[in-house]
Amino acid sequence: MIYQSILTERKRDMKISIVFLLIIAAVYTTNAQTKVLFQETYKNNSLRKNWKVVNGDWKVNEQAITGNKNTDWAILVSRKSLPKDYILTFSSLVDPKAYLFEVITNLNGEKYLGILLNQLEDGVAIEDRSLFADPAKNGGFIHSTGHIGLLPKVRKPSEHIWQNWKIQKTGNQTFIWINNDAVISLNDTTGIVKARGKFGFAINGEAMIKDIKLIKTRGEASLPPKSFVLKFPIEKPFFEFE
């Protein structure tokens, strides 16, 4: 009886140990597939250390970064390079009088993919954009420079609340959520988006940005999300090239 009891306890302990090891392995695997590359700390010197101010008035306090335009866009670019596959999360509070708030992704040279929150037209759009080093020569810092009117655009009512963004790039696909709603996506089959590059923000007005985090993904974490169902219908292009 005593031997049988000891044997039963050992089997139970072995089962507990196996379960524990499986949990540890699952946690390790999940963590190994994601890595935080950058997280804003909102210290007094973090703006100069972590960001390049291209234009406008930018300030940082203990909670957020605030940007305000002058005669042109307020533009801020991270000094941290993007990995091949990534998740970028942050929150923004855009002044109602600022008609455009833009997320700059995969900035290589002048070219980048812009994700625009258009408060004037109540919409979110993806555009093929350029950030020019000489705004006087090009008539401004930022312009749409290719695939005009052909990339995805949705109608989304403007709200003067904190917008929680999640942008996931996996391979040649980009997915965007705002406040947990699947808003817009792009399947880039023509090579518009170049790998890696920088990310940043541009505001045609004033906005606050907080909780900025850049996560590198690989393995299963870098696969396209299975449950991405658009909440808003995609608008048809306002014109098409023949």
Per-residue pLDDT for 178 more than 60? yes
Q: Judge contact between 81 and 50, C-beta under 8 A.
A: no
Q: How far apart are alpha carbons 186 and 191 in whole angstroms?
A: 11
Query: Rounded to an integer, what distance in angstroms lies between the CA atom of residue 77 and that of residue 60?
Result: 14
Q: Residue 224: helix, strand or coil by DSSP? A: coil
Distances (CA, A) of 239 to 147, 150, 152, 174, 242: 11, 8, 13, 23, 10
What domains lie within the chain, and their CATH numbers?
36-222 (2.60.120.560)
Helix (H, G, I), strand (E, B) or coil at 8: helix
C-alpha–C-alpha distance, residues 79 and 87, integer Å: 17
pLDDT of amino acid 19: 45
Torsional sign, CA 39, 216, 77, 147: negative
* Average pLDDT rounded to a whole number, residues 37-55: 92
pLDDT beyond 50 at 24: no
Q: What is the mean pLDDT of the chain?
A: 88
Q: Which helix (H) or strand (E) segment is 214 a member of?
A: strand 206-217
Helix (H) or strand (E) holding 119: none
Q: What is the mean pLDDT of residues 110-114?
A: 97
Q: Per residue in 116-136, pLDDT tens?
A: 999 999 999 999 999 999 999
How far apart (Å, rounded) are the C-alpha atoms in residues 25 and 39? Answer: 26
| pTM of structure | 0.84
